[in-house]
Structure 1
Amino acid sequence: MRYEAFLPLILSLGLAGPLAAEPLGIGRPASSETIAAWDIDVRPDGQGLPPGRGSVRDGAGLYAARCAACHGARGEGAAAEALAGGLGSLASAKPLRTVGSFWPYATTLFDYVRRAMPFDAPQSLTPDETYAVSAYVLHLNGLLPEEASLDATSLPRVAMPNRDGFTADPRPDVPPPSPPARPTEHTESR
């Protein structure tokens, strides 16, 4: 094969770098409102949780209407993964990784529901509805009593059974995360 035939292509690729740095004349700078609409992540310590409140009881109705068709009436799984059960199964031959058995932070549940659920209408739930559905799923896992409510203060305090089941990243170039405050058992706010 003759490499001389590819020389013009190789040389033109070298010129693409400086040209790519020039504005293309398309798009627009993102406004602070646009950025705020996409900046919805929630951290393990609760940073990023919006104002709002939701109860287990309110979550039961929302779950039945919006979640049960995919996740089963009691979180046992159906067309989509199980959300409840599996406690003590992680070290077994058939681990069941659910919110209650596997997830280390309750705030991860809120974050995921907020951005990705329900499957047919992601980001359609209000903060109050997201707190309620999260409370109900945590209740299905035996982590909240039926009379519990969640908000930005109480959600990060829910003690997840597998919170100590993960190991730190061993790479020397990755700083260790600062752990969130130690959660308390069955925390609720009213």
Structure 2
Amino acid sequence: MLLSCRRAPERFGFGRPAAAHEIDSMAIAIRPDGRGLPRGSGDAVTGQVIYAAKCAACHGVTGREGSSPRLVGDTGKTIGNYWPYATTVFDYIRRAMPLNAPGSLSNDEVYSLTAYLLSANRVITEKTMLDSARLAAVRMPARNLFVNDRGR
């Protein structure tokens, strides 16, 4: 049996071009130097309240216990002794947390959670207000332990 060979249509008519605001909402890459950080701000006191409500179930009340990786402490790969850039902490929280609703936190909530975790790891003080400029300026203790391998 011979099948008829029809020409494919020029367009199927599926989808539509993405609007600029839709692209911008998904283009959320944050670089180590802080480029890409959004507007907003937060502090450790506010972050501790958010942490208790949205993070403690998995990471424990202090970030040292729980079923998920430890976030606070002097041993193991915690934020304070392993992560090379504070902006990476923000980026990870913004993209992946909380586990049951990734991407659901506001920018202010993410800044506050980042401030709380950096404060709990003694990287910044509890009174430090973080925004894009201040977060990019935070110097992490493990920064010099990483080798830049950009294939120069």
Instruction: Tell me the TM-score normalised to structure 2 length.
Output: 0.87
**Structure 2 CA distance, aligned partners of 1:23 and 1:104?**
48
Instruction: Tell me the TM-score normalised to structure 1 length.
Output: 0.71
Report the AA paired with residue 64 of structure 1.
A
Residue number in structure 2 paired with 1:165: 145
Q: How many residues align?
A: 144
Q: Answer 1 or 2: higher relative contact order, Cα 8 Å, separation at least 6.
A: 2
**Structure 2 CA distance, aligned partners of 1:79 and 1:154?**
31
Residue number in structure 2 paired with 1:73: 61
Return the offset for 1:25.
4.3
- 2:32 paired with 1:39: no
Report the AA paired with residue 71 of structure 1.
H
- 2:39 paired with 1:51: yes
Residue number in structure 2 paired with 1:61: 49
- 2:14 paired with 1:26: yes
The answer for unaligned runs of 5 or more in structure 2 is 1-7
SS at match of 2:102: coil
Deviations 1:105-162 (A, max 9, x none): 0000101111111111111111111100000000110111121110011001111011
**Structure 1 CA distance, aligned partners of 2:19 and 2:63?**
40
SS at match of 2:66: coil
Q: Of the candidates 85, 109, 122, which is equivalent to residue 142 of structure 1? A: 122
**Structure 1 CA distance, aligned partners of 2:11 and 2:91?**
35
Report the AA paired with residue 128 of structure 2.
A
**Structure 1 CA distance, aligned partners of 2:11 and 2:30?**
33
**Structure 1 CA distance, aligned partners of 2:20 and 2:65?**
39
- Percent of aligned positions with the same letter in both sequences? 47
**Structure 2 CA distance, aligned partners of 1:168 and 1:104?**
11
- 2:142 paired with 1:154: no
The two structures, once aligned, show a CA RMSD in angstroms of 1.7
The answer for unaligned runs of 5 or more in structure 1 is 1-18, 90-95, 176-190
Compare CA radii of gyration and give the structure with the larger one: 1
**Structure 1 CA distance, aligned partners of 2:149 and 2:139?**
22
Cα 1:81–1:23, aligned 2, differ >3 Å: closer, same or farther? farther
**Structure 2 CA distance, aligned partners of 1:69 and 1:154?**
29
SS at match of 2:142: coil
